[in-house]
Amino acid sequence: MSLYVDPKLRRLTLLLAVLFFTVTPVFGQGQVQPRWDSKQLALNLVWTRVADVYGEAGSIESAEFSPDSRYIVSGSKFDHQVIMWRTSDGFEMWRQTVDQEIERVAWSPDGQFVASASEDFQVRIFQASDGTLVQTIPHDNGIDGLAWSHTGRWLASGEEWTEDAGGTRHGFLRLFAMPDGRLDRQADLGQTINSVDFSSDDQHVLAAGHDGTMKVWRTADMQEVRAFQGDPDYHFISARFSPDDRLIAVGDNAGDVYVWDFETGDLIDRFDRSGHKVEIVEWTPDGQYLVTAGNDPFIRFFRTADILADHRIYTALQVHAGDQAEYLHINQTGGLMVSAHQDGLIRLWVIMSEDPSVNARRHEWVKEQQRKAAEARQN
């Protein structure tokens, strides 16, 4: 027995289906399907690894790529582990245990060393190849901020606040001359320093911390060149120079993201898309996007062009990352990102940009190298 369907009704149903799949926005995204020659911004998850054995009761405070992107180092909060991972497959190369919570890890620009900063008042320098401890740099208090300068000349640390006999608070930014680890110069933010960062030319260094306070100093003589003030009822958690040093992005524990013009000191914009503490702000190496994450389970991308324009800032991409994030780092080519989470996991992602010519340009570069090699052989 067969069910009779009116031919006119069948044709109408087919027509409606064709119209739905060709002109209807993608379900759940509110975006028209992309043309075949365009791309959508996306994050593709590659692998996930347990980097703190306590899992949900643990936390990974920091994770960073090596300069050549072949390795990732992570630092955990509760099992106090510095772990070296191979980027390609997440294979564990080595691990070292320290005495207390690790707040930050950082690579030397030449890729030979990794540094860790922890709550036992110590910065430790490890040989990247095998994890051998080669140096310990003592501090006066817990260390929350850590960054290597781009030339490798300095290792900067930011301490938690202390109070002197007169009741004055101090929070020291210290620059250590490397590789000997000698204290070379310092400045006082007057508050706990949660984040430090160098400008791309190493001529300036910033420190951001409690009570919405951030300052920038000239590294040559540690003269203060700029001071920025957010909401004094909240704390700055993360701050970064943009790749061209024109902008400074800062996230606070109220969920706000600030973007300032470094040259003029003007606030360009302040926005909140999560309502939760922003643990990390990070620019893509080409400066086209600002990426944020924190105490909600999402990683968000914002277009720099939208931030600079005088209109509402839209979220370019929002990806559910599984759990709250403590840290993000993007490799130097801008194609990979590692995220560190409060559930004790690190995750490796591939960043798919909106530029459809990325691979084509890379192929052209290879062809050009081949052409130059062929000419060299002929000569």
pTM of the predicted protein model: 0.86
In a domain, 49, yes or no: yes
Number of domains comprising the chain: 1
In a domain, 30, yes or no: no
CA distance 36 to 94: 44
CB-based contacts of 291, cutoff 8 Å, min separation 6: 281, 282, 283, 284, 299, 300, 301, 302, 328, 330, 337
In a domain, 16, yes or no: no
Residue with tokens 């840290």: 327
In a domain, 326, yes or no: yes
In a domain, 268, yes or no: yes
Q: Report the pLDDT value the prediction gives residue 31, as an integer from 0 to 100.
A: 40
- CB-based burial label for 218 (10 Å; 0-12, 13-18, 19+): middle
In a domain, 156, yes or no: yes
Give the CATH number of the domain where residue 351 resides: 2.130.10.10
For 288-344, the pLDDT digits (tens) are 999 999 999 999 999 999 999 978 899 999 999 999 999 999 999 999 999 999 999
CA distance 314 to 306: 7
User: 15 or 273: which carries more pLDDT confidence?
Assistant: 273
- CB-based burial label for 196 (10 Å; 0-12, 13-18, 19+): buried
At 5, the pLDDT band (50, 70, 90 cuts) reads low
At 69, the pLDDT band (50, 70, 90 cuts) reads very high
**201 C-beta neighbours (distance < 10 Å), count:** 12
In a domain, 148, yes or no: yes
Q: Report the pLDDT value the prediction gives residue 27, as an integer from 0 to 100.
A: 34
**Residue 201 C-alpha from the chain's centroid:** 19
Q: Which domain holds residue 189?
A: 37-378
Long-range Cβ contacts of 312-318 (<8 Å, 24+ apart) = 313/269, 313/271, 315/273, 316/41, 316/289, 317/41, 317/42, 317/43
**What's the mean pLDDT in 29-52?**
73
**27 C-beta neighbours (distance < 10 Å), count:** 6
- Mean of the per-residue pLDDT values for the chain? 90
In a domain, 110, yes or no: yes
Q: Which of 353, 344, 302 lies closest to 323 in space, CA to CA?
A: 344
CB-based contacts of 208, cutoff 8 Å, min separation 6: 193, 194, 195, 196, 214, 236, 237, 238, 239, 250
**CB-CB contact of 26 with 328 (8 Å):** no
Q: Which of 62-71, 297-306, 359-368 has the lowest mean pLDDT?
A: 359-368
Is residue 355 scored above 90 in pLDDT?
A: no
For 133-171, the pLDDT digits (tens) are 999 999 999 999 999 999 999 999 999 999 888 889 999
